Amino acid sequence: MGTTGNEEYSATQNAKTTSRFRYNSPLIQVVLIGLVCFCCPGMFNALSGMGGGGQVNSTASNNALTALYTTFAVFGILGGGIYNILGPHLTLFAGCSTYVLYAGSFLYYNHHQHQLFAIVAGAVLGIGAGLLWAAEGAIMTSYPPENRKGSYISIFWSIFNMGGVVGGLIPFILNYNRGDRAVTVNDGTYIGFMVFMSVGAVLSLSILPASKVVRDDGSRCTSVLYSNVYTECLEIAKLFYNWKMLLIVPAAWSSNFFYTYQFNHVNKTQFNLRTRGFNNVFYWGAQMLGSVGIGYVMDFSFRSRRKRGVVGIAVVALLASAIWGGALANQIRRKPGEILDFKHSHSRYAGPFVLYFSFGLLDAMFQSMVYWVIGALANDSEILSRYAGFYKGIQSAGAAVAWQIDNRNVSSTNQLIINWVLTTVSYPLLFLLVVLAVKEDKDAEEDSAKQVAPSSVQDAFFH
């Protein structure tokens, strides 16, 4: 007896659903890299988000972060080439391992108040972060299907930032009963971070190389298995006069630059320790909402890919203007020296809290938007790993400068204005890049088909 049309349709849909949950499917690999980043940079973000690394004096943290982002700037750019040579396992595991050392250095600082270990650990973490984020960028921009890159980026960003949510709960819970007496976090906070980071390092070994990842239509993500040192050095050098990368520079520079202001001049200076942990739960939770929202706009708002890109950039630009305007209003109204607590300062707490929440929303939308643009410039993992590495390198150079600006006691208002100007300058350049360089979905898929020979999903499952 033959199957009915409905049964055939149901069988087809079930097959598609099953294929998405293959271990070597883009979705599962994106979820896995999200979990890795949940454990490592997610916990690092929670640690940084407390302001001063959870210490009363920000000097050690600022110097450690300057060292971190200085080496990150170099290895972020080199990271794409290293990833192309070593593949995901060695690149990710080496990168993740350095996060544990960094959290441990603040555990040491809690007892000895010697910042040298923290600075050295920061420099080592910069190397590791360059490797991890170059690998993450290559995976996020090349593994997903062309018409779902925004959605996959939002899935990754949500999982990753859940790490910040959980990481915010750690200092909030462990320091809750200390109330206003607490000026630095306790040892258990740093140990909790180290445990999660160690799990992330082990989990990184589960990521498959691009050549073994197969999309639902049977196409592989790339035809390139390994590169060589000479080729990578040459291709990385070319990035510095690639007009597409030059248009991304202002967005890359500003995208971590604003953390210094948000963490040290909003969260750290306006709230007590337990409230900073509480705020971070919502800051990183807002990132999840922001990434999902902008992912929908970039993938589904219009049929035209270019139009989706332009609209997405416009949405972020308008939201950013409103949030930075709110930050300026908060800066003008705030009372010098006033420290707020979420339980005892309800009327004065609401405004700064909403501002900090909005900063989290903006960060996710801004960075997801830039990743979407980068992912729309090419299809091949080898090319996109270099693009992502360049983005992270420039981003980290900006962050290194920002942390030292803060060490030079530049006023909060001046830092706010610098951030507002930097992000505003980036939007028209991204508009131009989308209009000139982003291909429509059909053209991009044809290019991808020329680069990558399709293979059987069923056969690839057993590889």
Query: 410 in helix, strand or coil?
Result: coil
Rounded-to-integer distance, Cα 320 and Cα 307, Å: 20
Rounded-to-integer distance, Cα 324 and Cα 416, Å: 8
DSSP 255: T
Q: With contact defined as beta carbons under 8 Å apart, do 388 and 236 qualify?
A: no
> Minimal CA–CA distance to 201: which of 274, 300, 255, 132?
132
The beta strands (E) that lie in 310-443 are given as none
β-partners of residue 454 are 219
The beta strands (E) that lie in 81-218 are given as none
- How do the residues of the chain divide into helix, strand and coil, expressed in percent and rounded to 5? 80, 0, 20
CATH superfamily, domain at 34-208+223-452: MFS general substrate transporter like domains (1.20.1250.20)
pLDDT on residue 463: 34
How far from 379 is each of 57, 304, 383, CA to CA, in Å? 46, 18, 8
For residue 218 the two structure tokens come to 């049977």
Q: Report domain extents, the chain.
A: 34-208+223-452
pLDDT on residue 47: 83
How does 144-167 read in b/e, with b if 16+ C-beta sit within 10 Å? bbbebbbbbbbbbbbbbbbbbbbb
Confidence (pTM): 0.77
β-partners of residue 214 are 220
pLDDT on residue 227: 59
In terms of Cβ atoms closer than 10 Å to its own Cβ (0-12, 13-18, 19+), residue 273 is buried
How far from 255 is each of 6, 236, 374, CA to CA, in Å? 49, 21, 14
- List the chain residues with pLDDT less than 50: 1, 7-15, 17, 56, 223-225, 448-463
> Minimal CA–CA distance to 288: which of 17, 45, 29, 26?
45
Half-sphere exposure of residue 445: CA atoms within 13 angstroms, side-chain side: 12
